Every structure is written in structure tokens, then in C-alpha cells.
């Protein structure tokens, strides 16, 4: 689990105590600008609090090597980032990040299909639409197979039906693989439907839980 104690970061995060399970599906909700993305960046060790401590699985972040932590806890930002030229190269990047051996073409295709991306592995990734690039990024994350997925509105470029379908398939695979997921959602209905637990921004910005 993640444990935050007396954590403050700029004028954004201010929480006396917050516990987030690392083996369940947790939705983070709240209005725009309420610190949701900053919380994920803190959990991914991309920024450090000005005061207080954050622990993962009982071990303070100060005792973790950042690279090792990020191999166990991987974050997907809202804006997709491309690695390499083709769909295949982008998918294999997930294996590289996690220190795993390259996946077969069959596994690459299966991961893409799990995220409803129907593209040839040889397709130039830059030719994909914004929504397709988001699905490519989700598939890459599945192939990386960390213990915890941190998702910052990963389907924001998709229409509502596709968004629900992609999230349903991604989260189903996460549950099947016993992975934890912490995802930011602007859709309350999606959080209510998919999450085991919902964390509202009030719980980490100094408001009332």
C-alpha cells in the first residue's frame, strides 16, 4: 500500500494521513486543478514532498532507488508519449522500461487488442490519432507489467463508449493479473462503476474527507 503522512507539496497537496491500497482498483476524483495529477506524480517519485513521508509497501520512498520503484509503480500521463517509430517499437519499450525480455509479436498484438487498438505492428506510431496513441500507451503499460498502474485520465481523447470499453478491458486484465490500479477520472459514473475505492481530492488537499 501507499502511506502518506503529514505530506505537503507547494500549495497543492496537504494531507495528515492518506492510505491507498496497491492491490486494488482506486479512482481519484475531484475538480480540475485539485491536485489529482500531482498526487500521482508524488506516488511515482517524480516529485518529492516539501515535508512529510510517503511509503510504498512499508518502505519509505527515501529508501527506494527511484528507477526500481518506477519499475514496480508505473505512471501513464494524460498526453501519450511515443518511443521509437513503429507500433511494435512503442510496445516493446514497455518491456525495456521494466527490464524484461522482448515480447513476441503474438504478445504485442494481444496487448494491443486488449486495449482495442487494431493496427499493424509495422504502422508508424506518429500516424495514429490521439485516441489511438492513448490506447497504444495503455497496451505498452500492460506489457511492462508493473505491480501498480498509475493512470492520469488515460482515455480522455476517446468518445464515451470507447472510453468505457477500453477501461473495462484494461482493468479486467489488471484484475486477472492481480495488479493494482490508481486512476484519475473526470467521470464520476466510471469511478463508481469500476473502482473498489474512491479517493476524493478533499482527502489530500486539506479539505474534509
Chain position carrying cell 473495462 = 168
- Look up the pTM and report it: 0.94
Half-sphere exposure of 78 (CA within 13 A, CB side): 13
Could you report the per-residue pLDDT of 156-176, keeping only the tens digit for each? 889 999 999 999 999 999 999
The conformation of residue 157, written as its DSSP 8-state character, comes to T
Confidence of residue 93 (pLDDT cuts 50, 70, 90): very high
Burial class, 139, CB count within 10 angstroms (exposed 0-12 / middle 13-18 / buried 19+): buried
The conformation of residue 127, written as its DSSP 8-state character, comes to G
Could you report the per-residue pLDDT of 53-77, keeping only the tens digit for each? 999 999 999 999 999 999 999 999 9
Could you report the per-residue pLDDT of 101-119, keeping only the tens digit for each? 999 999 999 999 999 999 9
Could you report the per-residue pLDDT of 176-207, keeping only the tens digit for each? 999 999 999 888 899 999 999 999 998 888 64
pLDDT value of residue 48 = 96
Cell of residue 128, nine digits: 495514429
Cell of residue 32, nine digits: 480540475
Could you report the per-residue pLDDT of 124-149, keeping only the tens digit for each? 999 999 999 999 999 999 999 999 99
- Contact (CB, 8 A) for 203 and 18: yes
pLDDT value of residue 209 = 38
Within 73-205, where are the H helices?
Answer: 87-97, 105-114, 130-144, 160-176, 188-194
Supply the mean pLDDT for the chain: 94
Q: Domains of the chain, with CATH numbers?
A: 2-203 (3.40.50.300)
Q: How many helices (H) and strands (E) does the chain have?
A: 7, 9
CA distance 125 to 43: 29
Radius of gyration (C-alpha) of the chain in whole angstroms = 17
Confidence of residue 208 (pLDDT cuts 50, 70, 90): very low
Amino acid at each position: 500500500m501507499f502511506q502518506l503522512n503529514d505530506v505537503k507539496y507547494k500549495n497543492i497537496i496537504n494531507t495528515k494521513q492518506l492510505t491507498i491500497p496497491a492491490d486494488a482498483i482506486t479512482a481519484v476524483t475531484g475538480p480540475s486543478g485539485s491536485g489529482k495529477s500531482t498526487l500521482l506524480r508524488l506516488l511515482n517519485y517524480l516529485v518529492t514532498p516539501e515535508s512529510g513521508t510517503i511509503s510504498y509497501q512499508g518502505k519509505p520512498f527515501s529508501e527506494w532507488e527511484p528507477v526500481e520503484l518506477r519499475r514496480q509503480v508505473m505512471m501513464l500521463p494524460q498526453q501519450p508519449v511515443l518511443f521509437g517509430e513503429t507500433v511494435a517499437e512503442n510496445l516493446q519499450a514497455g518491456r525495456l522500461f521494466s527490464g524484461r525480455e522482448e515480447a513476441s509479436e503474438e504478445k504485442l498484438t494481444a496487448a494491443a487488442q486488449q486495449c482495442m487498438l487494431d493496427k499493424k505492428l509495422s504502422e508508424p506510431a506518429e500516424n495514429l490519432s490521439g485516441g489511438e496513441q492513448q490506447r497504444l500507451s495503455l497496451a505498452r503499460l500492460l506489457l511492462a507489467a508493473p505491480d501498480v498502474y498509475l493512470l492520469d485520465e488515460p482515455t480522455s481523447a476517446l468518445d464515451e463508449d470507447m472510453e468505457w470499453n477500453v477501461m473495462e478491458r484494461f482493468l479486467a486484465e489488471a484484475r486477472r493479473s492481480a495488479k493494482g490500479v490508481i486512476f484519475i477520472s473526470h467521470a464520476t459514473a466510471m469511478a463508481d462503476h469500476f473502482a473498489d475505492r474512491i479517493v476524493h481530492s478533499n482527502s489530500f488537499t486539506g479539505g474534509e474527507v
